[in-house]
Chains A and B, each alone.
Chain A
Amino acid sequence: MTTATLPILEAAVLVVVAPLCGVALAGRRLRCAAPAAALFAAVLTLSALWTIVALGWSAAGGRTLVSYATIGTVGFALAAVGAWFGSVWRDPLDAAACSVGIAMLAGFGIFAVGPLAANLPTPVVNAALIASPIVSAASAAGVDIFRTDLLYRISPLAHGRFDYPAWFTPLAAYGTVLLISLAGTARALRKGWL
């Protein structure tokens, strides 16, 4: 792993961990939400600082900040989805399975479709790229992830037409998911579904 790939790895971990954290927090009626959010923000800040120091501000400062802003928004959004599902479902295992399943579909779906990706229309591919936190984090960090050696060899995507999302598109998309999920969680907790 190199410094440039750190945000990609962190995004991949978040796809699984963030919804689970959200479900766990919902089980405690979000009592630990504020410290957990502060801890997450602190870890991301440290990671971003370390990346900037390693790569240099002039070389990658702006890209690193955008990349970590994307990761932060994605992390909060996926945790909020987990919290929403955790506050609606009685069984936390159902909530965990559902929220992690959705997050993994968004995160890894475009990689998992394999050769089928070659036949997908470009707008569908582009939408899937926006939905994937891994692609979004990589793109924001300036990493052309589908033309890295392994993916270029095994994925048909790099051999067809696609456009990486502009940096603000995933931020806006996951920001919207965050707001909707927070509203859903608040409504569920008010109604006392848990």
Chain B
Amino acid sequence: MTRSVFVAASLCVVLFAPLTAGQRAGSGAGGLSPTTRQELMKSLSSGAAYLRAQQSAEGTFDANPGVSAVAATALLRQPGVPKEMLMDAGGKRSLDAIVKLAKPDGGIYDKVIPHYITAVSVMALVAGGRPQDKPLIEKGRAYLAEHIWDEGEGVKPTDKWYGGIGYGGSDPNRRADIISLEYALRAMKEAELPANDAAWEKAIKFLQRTQNNSETNDQGWASNDGGFVYYPGFTYHSDGGTKSYGSATYAGVISYAWANVKKEDARVQAVRKWVRDNYTVDENPGMGQKTVYYYYLVFAKALQAVGQPVIVDAKGRSHNWREDLAKKLISLQHPEGYWVNTDKAELQDNKVLVTAFTMQAMEATLQP
């Protein structure tokens, strides 16, 4: 396919998709207004063009397997563009590059942080939807499920790390964190790990122990704001202590959803209270601008997954989160099409990674 045909097709999507999509969901019902939707599609298209221009001939982005997989996923899920076009516009090359990283044990990584890279690689392969990648997807999800800390590694259910997952590799220290777990659970969910797999229940144990909810958390440090910390007893909140912060909390919300915990469950109700008390699209609550684009990603995916179109905050004000987030993300886009964070922590000075995060947040915002 020539570049001009692809550009023309993308233009059609930008112009016509909002018209049909606007009929499905109006802003009054907590969806996006037709105007915002149209702007969002335009913004997505511009972000996708920026990303495609960064792809190497081998199909990778930034010579980094993690960044490559996140970017590939964002591009392969670009709404309104036929999958065939997405595959021809670099999608196939991306997937082929990912496939080359597959290891005999089911992991898909190069050298470091194997759990994280496997999770994002599985998500990219799922987004690609090629039949020949199915065995790798199944092995990848099994690899992630097996690497959740449990009795197999000598971790007892009473251990605070039980049910968690860390970066992996030859790290001699046992550790886990909610962000790594969220990635792993998201990959397992997208790869359709059966709902009755024991890994989900184990993960719930770790999630409970990471939540500031003393009714269900058996750790002595737990308070009752309902949000989440990085791992049991440790937070990245700028005030220190064990205060909950934004990205960890939305990672917790979405992880409960992936792990099939019901909306009516007390743990979910507790975290919903935190969401109401700390609603914002201006920063990552408790961390300022640090990792704010990952915050946007889990914010969108979490609220979309729990099916809550309007958030009523602690002051009683109603927020259409889709509209708020869409406008915020559109306003943050640079004229060249990319997004980048002013705070460089966690590689958020990397335009490709941040653009891919943002596009995935937008894609979740567009879903009903």
Co-assembled chains A and B: yes
A residues near B, CB below 8 A? 2, 4-5, 60, 63, 118, 141-144, 147-150, 152-153, 156, 159-161, 164
Known: A153-B234, A160-B345. A147 touches B170 (CB 8 A): no
Instruction: Return chain B residues, CB-CB under 8 Å to A118.
Output: 344-345
Residues of B within 8 A of A (CB): 111-113, 167, 169-173, 175, 234, 344-347, 349-350
Contacts of A152 in B (CB 8 A): 175
What residues of chain B lie closer than 8 Å to A63, measured between beta carbons?
170
Q: Are B347 and A4 closer than 8 Å at their CB atoms?
A: no
- Contact between B350 and A148, CB atoms less than 8 A apart: no
CA gap between A141 and B171 in the complex, in Å: 10
Given contacts A143-B172, A161-B349, 15 further A-B contacts (CB under 8 A): A2-B172, A4-B170, A141-B170, A143-B169, A144-B112, A144-B170, A147-B167, A147-B169, A148-B172, A148-B173, A148-B175, A152-B175, A159-B345, A160-B344, A164-B112
Q: What chain A residues lie within 8 Å of B111 (beta carbons)?
A: 164
Q: How far is the CB of A70 from chain B (nearest CB, A)?
A: 15
Complex contacts, B169 vs chain A, CB 8 Å? 142-144, 147
Inter-chain CB contacts under 8 Å: number: 48
Give the dominant DSSP class at B's interface: loop
Q: Which of B171, B234, B347 contacts A160 (CB 8 A)?
A: B347
Task: Indicate whether A5 sits within 8 Å of B345 (C-beta atoms), given known contacts A144-B167, A153-B234.
Answer: no
A148 to B177, CA, bound (A): 12
Measured between alpha carbons, how far is A160 from B113 in the docked complex, in Å? 14
Are the C-beta atoms of B175 and A149 separated by less than 8 Å?
yes
**Residues of chain A within 8 A of B175, CB atoms compared:** 148-149, 152
Give bound CA distance, A12 to B360, whole Å: 44
**Closest approach, in angstroms, between the C-beta of A142 and any C-beta of chain B?**
4
CB nearest to B344 among chain A residues: A160
- Chain A residue nearest to B347 (CB atoms) is A161
Q: Which of B173, B346, B347, B349: most chain A CB closer than 10 A?
A: B173
Contact A144 B113 (CB under 8 A): yes
Closest 8 CB pairs of A and B: A142-B170, A2-B172, A4-B172, A149-B175, A149-B173, A144-B169, A159-B345, A143-B170
Among A5, A144, A148, the most chain B Cβ lie within 10 Å of the Cβ of A144
